[in-house]
Amino acid sequence: MTRIAGSHTIRAGANVWRGDDDVFFQGCDGIPNLHYNDMIQFINDNIYSENGLSYNIVTGKPVPYTYGYKKTTIGIFAEDSWKVNRKLTLNYGIRYDNNGNPYVDSALPGGSAPPNVIANMTLGSGSNFASQIAGAAFKVQSNVYPSDRNWIFSPRVGLAYEPSADGKWVVRGGFGLFRDLPTLGNEENSLRK
C-alpha cells in the first residue's frame, strides 16, 4: 500500500506465511530394505519382503514414523521516502516480525502411526552445569519453543544526496537490520521424540 502526501511517499505492507514439514514416506534415519527371491522377481518388481520403510510400497499409505509440524509467521512494515529538498532524499522505516513457534500437525493421516510429539531437554536443578545436565529430562511440549519468537524489530535508514545540479553523480548510503528466518525443518528436526 502506498500513499503520497506532499514530499513524502509512505509505504506499508504485511505478509503472512504458513508452512508445514510433513513426512509421509520415510521415518527418521529410515533406510529401506527390499528383498527378492531371485533376479526375475527383481526385474518384475515382485518384492518378497520389506523393512525399514515408513510407508506401504504397494498401497502408498503412510505407516508408523509419519510426522509433521506447522508454523505461521507474520511480518509488517512501514517506511517513508521523504524528499527534503531537490538535493536530498531520506528513507526510513521499520519492520516487525513474529517468526512463529512450530507446533505438531495433528491432522496427519497414518492409521497405526504413533502420536506426533515434540520433546525438548529441560535442565535439572543443581549448583553447576554438570549437575544440571545429570538431572536433565526430556519433556513433552506443545511447541518447539516456550513462546513465539516475536517482537523482532528491524529498522532501516538511507539517504540519497545529489551535490551538483547537473545530476552527474549521487551519493547514496544506508543502514538496516535484516534477519533470516530459520527453516521449519531445522527447528523441529532435533526435537522429535
Whether residues 66 and 104 share a domain: the answer is yes
Whether residues 167 and 123 share a domain: the answer is yes
pTM, to two decimals? 0.64
Whether residues 102 and 183 share a domain: the answer is yes
CB distance 187 to 71 below 8 Å: yes
Whether residues 29 and 82 share a domain: the answer is no
Closest by CA position to 62, among listed 30, 90, 95: 30
Domain boundary pick from 39, 61, 83? 61
Whether residues 149 and 111 share a domain: the answer is yes
Whether residues 37 and 132 share a domain: the answer is no
Whether residues 16 and 52 share a domain: the answer is no
H helix count then E strand count, the chain? 3, 11
What range does the domain containing 173 cover? 2-24+62-191
The tens digit of pLDDT for each residue in 26-72 reads 555 556 778 888 889 888 888 887 766 665 556 666 566 666 788 88
The tens digit of pLDDT for each residue in 95-135 reads 999 988 888 877 665 555 555 667 777 888 989 999 999 98
How many domains in the chain?
2
Whether residues 84 and 142 share a domain: the answer is yes
Q: CA-CA distance, 93 to 75, in Å (whole number)?
A: 13
Whether residues 66 and 49 share a domain: the answer is no
Cell of 171: 551519493
Establish how many alpha carbons lie within 13 A of residue 79's alpha carbon, considering only the half-sphere containing its beta carbon: 19
Whether residues 87 and 35 share a domain: the answer is no
Whether residues 49 and 117 share a domain: the answer is no
Query: Looking at this protein, which amino acid is placed at residue 10?
Result: I
Q: CA-CA distance, 86 to 93, in Å (whole number)?
A: 21
